[in-house]
Amino acid sequence: MNFLNLLFPAKRGVGAVTKCCRATCSSFFHSSTESSVEVHSEEQEVVIALGSNVGDRLHNFNEALLLMKKSGINITRHGCLYETEPVYVTDQPRFLNSAVRGVTKLGPHELLGILKKIEKDMGRTVGIRYGPRPIDLDILFYGRFRIHSEILTVPHERIWERPFVLAPLLDLMGSAVESDTVVCWHSFSGQPNGLFEMWEKLGGESLIGKEGMKRVLPLGDRLWDWSEKTSVMGILNLTPDSFSDGGKFQSVDAAISQVHLMISEGADMIDIGAQSTRPNAARISAEEELERLIPVLEAIQKMPEMERKLISVDTFYSKVASEAVSKGAHIVNDVSAGSLDPDMYRVVAALKVPYIAMHMRADPSTMQNEENLKYDDVCKQVASELYSRVKDAELSGIPAWRIIIDPGIGFSKKTKHNLDILLGLSTIRKEIASKSLAVSHAPMLIGPSRKRFLGEICNRPSAAERDPATVASISTGVLEGANIVRVHNVRDNIDAVKLCDSMLIRRRSCR
């Protein structure tokens, strides 16, 4: 087969030389033949790296993504967010780095011009090479082409020596082969097993979490490295009919007292829910949910002990999410992962807050129906169904670096399924990794607290009697890789989490 046909098949629409777009191409099988070609296809898949270390770095990323979208670059995937030490010129602030994958009709040099204009419009000036900059946008890959001109080299020539570029680049892929284009990107590395082998040679996952490079998620006004310790989320139910504590905290005073208790016991976050999602729960309107929620949320915001603590709103209504965030909530926790409100993804994308996407089939009133409880392999199917929702969220503008995943213990699950999930969190991550490494790296939340399956196993019909079993399930989940645990009883579970974290640290130090 002619190498040009291999690298640039007819469906990509490569034609004769014209002034529109010139690219020097060479076979990734090291052929010495060269030819100038023009890209005629309607769209090309591209990878663009982002970096910033001047001003509000996250705002700079958001602004750059918006300007790229307006310029004809349709973003389809986002890498994780990394905070990194500067290289080459080290006397400057720490960087945020990531990468995005998208499609565009722009030619490679036209694309370069657009990115340089965005950099200039956002305040980047000619200065020290590798020095401080509000935004840095580099083309890492353009379709399956090698490009070498006076102003553009693709693949980017320094990919292979920069962990802060290679890590988010790999995040944009899955561990399973996705397309001919991705295979080509791997081949450009010059390594037998492609980019993954290059990443391992640099140090791989052992680089993450060390002083020079952290994987982070924006939470409020800070960047959260969730590898440092497991976070405890205290549950505050404002509903009259929740399965564990319905009706206990409907008054503002009672709610405030409970929050004070959970914070004093060590909770990192408070998750406020004003809509019951227990099995067979009747749905209330967004307006009624807000009537319950907002007075309590406003009162909690005024509590001095809530400084540096985080508030999550447990809702599947976009209207409630929007109003709660405007009143100070930091996180949207959606048990439906967007399936119960078609506006949820768009609204959360605009709010620019972390989004907890949970696995559930149907809705709370029908989730335990027999047809929703059938699994051949619960961990694999939960991973596949949850990733499908997250993929839609990402296409709607919620970056992977704002996603938190929740396998939905107790939602559309039988007792055996809940046990399989607790023992199989790493399997769920592995299955998601086959489709998206970025999503597989996301923080994982589990919420087995006081749920019915614990009562069935331990013969505890009363939810209040299930705290010892909750501690056991939480401990199992943390040792299996959970990063956030959602609990009613903070005091007992925070001790369990501290012990598990110490065990994990000890395990890593012994390797």
Residues linked to residue 131 through DSSP beta bridges, in sequence order: none
Every domain of the chain and the residues it spans: 43-216, 228-446+481-486
Largest CA distance in the chain: 77
Over residues 159-187, the pLDDT tens digits come to 988 999 999 999 999 999 788 899 999 99
Whole-angstrom Cα distance, residue 123 to residue 267?
41
Indicate the helix (H) or strand (E) that contains 388.
helix 378-395
Mind giving me the DSSP string for 460-493?
Answer: --SGGG-HHHHHHHHHHHHHTT-SEEEES-HHHH
pLDDT tens digits for 239-286?
Answer: 987 666 666 778 999 999 999 999 999 999 999 999 999 898 889 999
CA atoms of 262 and 214, how far apart (whole Å): 29
Please state the separation of Cα 267 from the chain's center in Å: 23
Give per-residue pLDDT as tens, 449-467: 999 999 999 999 999 999 9
- Domain 228-446+481-486 CATH class label: alpha beta
Characterize the bridge pairing of strands 310-314 and 73-78: unpaired
> In the sheet that 231-237 helps form, which strands lie side by side, from edge to edge?
403-406, 355-358, 331-334, 310-314, 269-273, 231-237, 484-487, 445-446
CATH of domain 43-216: 3.30.70.560
d(CA 185, CA 199): 14
pLDDT tens by residue, 22-45: 343 333 323 323 334 444 458 999
- Quick one: pLDDT band at residue 126, thresholds 50, 70, 90? confident
- What percent of the chain lies above the pLDDT cut of 90? 80
Instruction: Give the count of beta carbons closer than 10 Å to the beta carbon of residue 366.
Output: 13
* Token pair belonging to 40: 């005629």
Within this chain, domains 43-216 and 228-446+481-486 share the same CATH topology:
no
Count how many Cα atoms sit within 13 Å of the Cα of residue 157 in the half-sphere of its side chain.
6
Active site residues: 451, 486
